[in-house]
Amino acid sequence: MESLCIAVPREKAEKVRQEMMEKKLLRTDLKIRHDRQYVYIPVVEGADIKDAALKKMDFE
């Protein structure tokens, strides 16, 4: 399923994930993806996240 997400460096991912959850911006129905450099955290449509570029990706 396609969703908006933010790309976060791996070392910051857990902190950002917790912040997104607290702010009710995290899509908990989709699995977080990652590669060697980044973790891709799916966020709700219409999310306005300061200092983060939103992109669309496919998630499970």
Express each pLDDT in 4-56 by its tens digit: 999 999 999 999 999 999 999 999 999 999 999 999 999 999 887 877 888 99
Q: Given this model, what pLDDT does residue 47 score?
A: 82
Q: Given this model, what pLDDT does residue 4 score?
A: 95
Q: Given this model, what pLDDT does residue 48 score?
A: 79
Percent helix, strand, coil in the chain, to 5, is: 20, 35, 40
Three-state secondary structure call for residue 48: coil
User: What's the pTM?
Assistant: 0.90
Helices (H), 1-60: 13-22
Q: Given this model, what pLDDT does residue 46 score?
A: 84
Sign of the dihedral through C-alpha 15, 21, 26, 31 = positive
